Amino acid sequence: MTEANEAEPELLELEDEGVLTLVLNRPDNLNALNTSLMRLLNDAVARAANNPGVACVILTGAGRAFCAGGDMKASKAAREQAAEKLAEDASKPSRQTSFQARAEWLRRSTEAARLLHDMAKPTIAMINGACAGAGLSLAGACDIRIAGESAMLTSVFARAGLSGDYGGSWFWTRILGTAKARELYLLCERIDARQALAAGMVSAVHDDADLAAQVMALARRFADGPRTAYGYMKRNLNAAETGTLESLLDLEATHMLLSREALSKR
């Protein structure tokens, strides 16, 4: 992706015949997630999930990073601002800043990860450059991850003294298995694109200059393919993560008939 103009919004939505590309657009901050970008991403992914005209979603970042995680400076500023407002208004209920309220806010703020995983259409993480913390979690939420040669993946949370969010521990346990996911989070090592490919963290690695074209070609394949079948396929795969074989066989039978009906109507 090219460097963004300062006048551009923090999230870009680029549509191309059924393919929606969501670009985290804070390149000077390595696309770190601040409060406004978290909200914009939640809203954009929710719209994409419910838009029948969108067949495939690509998530990427502007400039030289996919997403470096949460914007810790912005978080600190937000906490200081909240404290100032509370001091100005002594009548404000203390429950507004309670532990439970903050936990509920953080959970709502990370909804984009669930939607990327659950939506009934393929999602692709186009990993250009740094992919860390919440960025790694968002990449894990997508169905397919394609990396550029400059990609560098790390959980980073342990270095910041944090436990992790955006569902990363759930996604990466299922992608890598329990032992490797624990290594990823507890050791907090930096993993380059080729190491990520060998570990099964990404499906392919391309030259940085070719990355966008390669990912768009894959997205076009999904957009031009059997959209209804892809939707039911994702529902089957999601159900397989937690359901029994018997329940999945029932679900597959239903979805096979529904996808056949959709074919007959084309």
Handedness of CA 250, 254, 257, 259 (dihedral sign): negative
- Residue 243 has what DSSP assignment? S
The pLDDT, as a whole number, for residue 79 is 47
- Give the CA distances from residue 242 to residues 112, 197, 212, 247, in Å, rounded to whole numbers and listed in that order: 20, 26, 33, 10
Asked if 40 contacts 10 with a C-beta cutoff of 8 angstroms, the reply is yes
Domains, the chain, in order of start with CATH, read: 11-77+104-224 (3.90.226.10), 227-264 (no CATH)
The pLDDT, as a whole number, for residue 82 is 45
The pLDDT, as a whole number, for residue 266 is 73
The pLDDT, as a whole number, for residue 100 is 86
Dihedral in degrees, nearest 10, Cα atoms 147, 240, 108, 176: -40
The pLDDT, as a whole number, for residue 105 is 87
Asked if 66 contacts 31 with a C-beta cutoff of 8 angstroms, the reply is yes
Return the SS3 of 93. coil
The pLDDT, as a whole number, for residue 77 is 57
pTM of the model: 0.89
The length of the chain in residues reads 266
The pLDDT, as a whole number, for residue 246 is 97
The pLDDT, as a whole number, for residue 96 is 57
Helices within 19-110 (DSSP H only): 35-50, 72-88, 99-109
pLDDT in tens, the chain (266 residues): 545 555 689 999 999 999 999 999 999 999 999 999 999 999 999 999 999 999 999 999 999 999 999 887 765 556 455 444 444 444 444 455 688 888 888 999 999 999 999 999 999 999 999 999 999 999 999 999 999 999 999 999 999 999 999 999 999 999 999 999 999 999 999 999 999 999 999 999 999 999 999 999 999 999 999 999 999 999 999 999 999 999 999 999 999 999 999 888 87
